[in-house]
Amino acid sequence: MIKLRRPLCAAGLAYAAAAVVVVCTAGDAPLSGVHDRERTIVAGFVEQRETRLSRSGESTVITLSDAVILENDQIANLERFLSDSEKIPQYRLHNIWKQNRENLRKEDTTGIEGVLCYMEEGENPETGSLVLMSGTYRAFARATNPGEFDSAAYYRITGQQGRIMECRLLAKSKSHNNFREGLCRMREYLSLLLDACYDGKNASVMKAMLLGEKGTLDADLKELYRQSGIIHILAISGLHLSVIGMGVHKLFGKMRIPKVVNIILTTGFMYCYGTMTGMGISMLRAYIMFVLRLGAELAGRTYDLMTAAAVAVLVVLGGQPLYLQHSGFLFSFGAVCGIGTFLPAVKTNLFGHTKAEEVLFSGIAVSLATLPVYLCFYYEFPPYSVLLNLFVIPGMTFVLLGGLASLGGAALFLPLGRMAAVPVQLVLGLYEKCCNGVTHLPDSRWITGCPGLWQAALFVGILVLLGAGNRRLPKLFFWQGVLCALLVLTIRLPEGLQITMVDVGQGDCIYLQEESGVHMLIDGGSSDRSEVAAYQIIPFLKYEGVSRLDAVVVTHPDDDHINGIRTILEDAGGDGIFVEALYLPDVGEAGRNRAYLELEDLAEAAGIPVRYIGTGDRLHFGKVMLTCLNPEKGWNTADTNAYSTVLYLTYGTFSALFTGDLEGGGERRVTELLGTWHPGVERDAPAQSFSGREDAIQAGTSGITLLKTAHHGSGNSTGDLFLRQTAPAIALISSGRGNRYGHPHKELLERLEQYGCIVYGTQQSGAVTVRVKGRGVKVEAFLKE
């Protein structure tokens, strides 16, 4: 009989596989009973209290668990109950709440179990108390584009389904959790000490490193750490357990405390520390493994890293299977698996045996193990982070010990704490300088795009096979296998033509990619989303693996078409996405308003050539040809919509028309021009409006295959004559949800239906991607519902 080695590892792997099935089949709970921006009354237990930065400054944020959105007629009853709760112990209060909360819940809000409350200035409730709050409900935003951060999915993992803004405390129970409230107040006290000992930036870093307070972290410094690949040092994880936990354990040992008592005290102390800092996923994983390590010492057994990691997987996923989608979970366990399985293989296959080589390749091994996670969440990798971490990670022991020393010194005598903080601030300043230096080196970022699930699985499979058979493989073959795995993970093979209408809300952004590797952007702006480039456009481009845009075409200089382009141009001269050329409409002085001239200036500052296009000009990119139909060269009009650049695209038998905000005289001129090359044919096909499914059609039938509908679906554009001439098979409409203009207008939708168009709009579908291969055309909506 074959003896199974590490049975817990096999159990953990099997459980993780089952959790994958659960996560993939689980759907979001509908929250139809409460509307966004609705004034709401909520009740629940205070799970955590922390400080976060907001637009108005620092705000106290309360995390509520077992939350209920209340019916209006139940508010007075709960207020009376809370006012009389002084004699009810904490455990009894929980039982009473669980037994009665469903009777208080507002209809159709069963999906809400946890919320974040952004408090107004005033009294903050104690941890563990039952509270009644009022405020404005805000749902977490869902991602509507590939690459966009999905707030709703992220907070669903941590147990919150919404936010209450401008929250006001109405009532609270007299009893609360004294233990957790004491730890919370301890963290607030230590946070004040760090503010007193360190300057602003460094104080926020030390609070993240020592206390788990990431809400006040300086945003620019956090992004710098992320771009440099050292963002992991801000997480409370195994390093803290090694430095603090083992330090306490050894200290108790030197005090000759019996081993059993020592281990109990040490695990209890670290549990208190973990609870005080929020017990993040990395800390929870490290704590479970730390307890098992001490347990093995007590039992006289050998500690096995992978078995301990498997137990941690079982515990964490047993509580919340959705952690499989959490970057912190995947990074933390990926690093441990890399150390436990792949690192020994790397050390075996070193060509030399020097200490420097062993340290360098150890860092490479851990980076390889976590690389799929990094690319799946950030779509880029900082290659110099491997070398940077060789310096940063060893210095973290000094930083942590120095931070603890400054806290201890400040608690006794504040100037003593400030003195102890000086060397720590020097190290943190050196970290920042190194990060700034690294980000300005050539090829400081490899934008690879998001790998497919099959790529990540194959990459991991190759590393596992190399790790399992490393002693039987020639060293050269081992490293060739590693390079093969990297190629599998990062390769992108574009096929045919891809056109994506990015969901930027009330605005326009069209992305084109041709199989030869050409990338192009037509417009990029929004009037209802702030920082649209940072949150929608650039993440999408990185998701697609775009580090260079061969062309950026601005149809006209209205803000809802250019504010994202403006940001891209500002960053293009530094470490942003490189732009080969900016194309502006070739119009007279009357049309070159302040926004138009500003784009010219930004391009000049970034060293980007500006080219002007008008009727008859053609752009060739691989097999794609774009012909400009508008504006007439030198047209001297101040009507920016009328002179919108119109591009007619052909790719084999496929054709598309991109119209900006075309209307009026511009639309009539384009209609006449199209009549000379593209005789219209009325289409007799069934109309499907705002389909959320995937549709496939054949290119090269009658009319234009794809039309980007002008002016966000305005009824004043895309008239009958224009539709009769173009006869589009597919119409795309880019407009914001609930926009004040009422786009798309009903009369336009009726016209499109009359001409048999399949209509896709960002309001219902999110980003819409059209893929063309041969004569086949496939349309995919990002949102499937």
Which residues share a beta bridge with 69?
A: 42
Answer yes or no: is pLDDT of 683 > 80. no
pLDDT classification of 570: cutoffs 50, 70, 90: very high
Lowest mean pLDDT among 143-152, 281-290, 301-310, 501-510: 301-310
Q: What residues contact 257, with CB distance under 8 A and at least 6 apart? A: 265
Report d(CA 199, CA 76) in Å as an integer: 47
DSSP string covering 631-666, please? SPTTB--S-TTTT--EEEEEETTEEEEE-TT--THH
**11 and 310 Cβ atoms separated by less than 8 Å:** yes
339-351 exposure pattern, b = at least 16 Cβ within 10 A, e = fewer: bbbbbebbeebee
pLDDT digits (tens, 9 = 90+) for 525-563: 999 898 999 999 999 999 999 999 999 999 999 999 999
CA-wise closest residue to 208 among 333, 50, 363: 50
Q: What residues contact 148, with CB distance under 8 A and at least 6 apart? A: 535, 536, 539, 540
Residue 22 has what pLDDT? 62
DSSP string covering 243-267, please? IIIHHHHHHHHHTT--HHHHHHHHH
**713 and 659 Cβ atoms separated by less than 8 Å:** no
pLDDT digits (tens, 9 = 90+) for 347-375: 888 766 677 777 777 778 888 889 999 99
CB atoms within 10 A of CB 152: 16
Q: What percent of the chain has pLDDT over 70?
A: 91
Q: Hey, what are 728's tokens?
A: 């589009």
Q: What percent of the chain has pLDDT over 90?
A: 52
Report d(CA 137, CA 134) in Å as an integer: 9
Answer yes or no: is pLDDT of 517 > 80. yes
Place of tokens 């490479």: 364
Mean pLDDT of the 233-246 span? 87
pTM of the model: 0.91
DSSP E strands in 527-638: the ranges are 548-549, 551-553, 578-579, 582-585, 610-613, 618-621, 624-630
Q: Hey, what are 57's tokens?
A: 């400054």
**∠ at Cα 213 (212, 219), nearest 5°?**
120
Mean pLDDT of the 290-312 span? 89
Answer yes or no: is pLDDT of 386 > 80. yes
**DSSP H or E stretch at residue 696:** strand 695-698
Mean pLDDT of the 462-481 span? 82
Residue 692 has what pLDDT? 39
CA-wise closest residue to 563 among 507, 606, 613: 507
Question: What letter does residue 745 receive in the DSSP assignment?
Answer: P
- On average, the pLDDT of the chain sits at 87
- Judged on CB neighbours under 10 Å (0-12, 13-18, 19+), 86 is exposed
**6 and 304 Cβ atoms separated by less than 8 Å:** yes
Mean pLDDT of the 240-244 span? 87
**139 and 155 Cβ atoms separated by less than 8 Å:** no
CA-wise closest residue to 134 among 114, 117, 111: 117
DSSP E strands in 704-785: the ranges are 706-708, 730-733, 758-761, 768-773, 776-781
Answer yes or no: is pLDDT of 685 > 60. no
Residue 289 has what pLDDT? 92
pLDDT classification of 682: cutoffs 50, 70, 90: very low
For residue 744, is the peptide bond before it cis, meaning its omega torsion is within 30 degrees of 0?
yes
Q: How far does Cα 612 stand from its chain's mean position?
A: 36
**130 and 97 Cβ atoms separated by less than 8 Å:** yes
Residue 687 has what pLDDT? 34
Answer yes or no: is pLDDT of 307 > 50. yes
Answer yes or no: is pLDDT of 4 > 50. no
Answer yes or no: is pLDDT of 181 > 90. yes
Residue 376 has what pLDDT? 93
Mean pLDDT of the 163-192 span? 92
pLDDT digits (tens, 9 = 90+) for 315-352: 898 888 889 889 989 999 888 888 888 888 888 887 66
Q: What residues contact 671, with CB distance under 8 A and at least 6 apart? A: 721, 722, 725
Answer yes or no: is pLDDT of 218 > 90. no
**446 and 492 Cβ atoms separated by less than 8 Å:** no
Q: Hey, what are 686's tokens?
A: 């069934």
CA-wise closest residue to 761 among 401, 505, 417, 532: 505
CA-wise closest residue to 729 among 619, 661, 670, 654: 654
Residue 772 has what pLDDT? 94
Mean pLDDT of the 220-249 span? 88
**583 and 611 Cβ atoms separated by less than 8 Å:** yes
List strands edge to edge, sheet with 507-514: 610-613, 582-585, 551-553, 518-526, 507-514, 497-501, 768-773, 776-781, 695-698
CA-wise closest residue to 169 among 292, 30, 64: 64
Q: Hey, what are 392's tokens?
A: 């940063």
Residue 8 has what pLDDT? 62
Residue 680 has what pLDDT? 42
Answer yes or no: is pLDDT of 741 > 50. yes
Q: Hey, what are 343's tokens?
A: 């690192």
DSSP string covering 81-125, please? HHHT-TTS-HHHHHHHHHHHHHHHBPTT-TT---EEEEEPSS--P
CB atoms within 10 A of CB 752: 24
pLDDT digits (tens, 9 = 90+) for 81-109: 888 777 788 778 888 888 888 888 888 88
Q: Hey, what are 439's tokens?
A: 């980000």
CB atoms within 10 A of CB 720: 10
**411 and 495 Cβ atoms separated by less than 8 Å:** no
Residue 101 has what pLDDT? 85
Report d(CA 501, CA 512) in Å as an integer: 9
Answer yes or no: is pLDDT of 511 > 90. yes
DSSP string covering 443-467, please? T--EE--PPPHHHHHHHHHHHHHHH
Q: Which is it for strands 646-651 and 518-526: parallel, antiparallel or unpaired? A: unpaired
CA-wise closest residue to 198 among 410, 50, 352, 37: 410
Q: Cα separations (Å) of 35 from 32, 75, 168, 763? A: 7, 19, 19, 17
Mean pLDDT of the 205-216 span? 91
Residue 241 has what pLDDT? 85
Residue 11 has what pLDDT? 66
**DSSP H or E stretch at residue 290:** helix 281-299
pLDDT classification of 25: cutoffs 50, 70, 90: low
Residue 777 has what pLDDT? 92
Mean pLDDT of the 215-234 span? 88
Report d(CA 282, CA 334) in Å as an integer: 11
Residue 601 has what pLDDT? 95
Residue 522 has what pLDDT? 97
CB atoms within 10 A of CB 161: 22
Residue 76 has what pLDDT? 84
pLDDT digits (tens, 9 = 90+) for 653-665: 999 999 999 988 8
Q: How many residues does the chain have?
A: 785
Mean pLDDT of the 620-631 span? 92
CA-wise closest residue to 711 among 689, 732, 684, 690: 732
Mean pLDDT of the 584-592 span? 93
Answer yes or no: is pLDDT of 607 > 60. yes
Report d(CA 570, CA 57) in Å as an integer: 27
Q: What residues contact 65, with CB distance under 8 A and at least 6 apart? A: 44, 45, 47, 113, 114, 159
Lowest mean pLDDT among 8-12, 294-298, 648-652: 8-12
Answer yes or no: is pLDDT of 265 > 90. yes
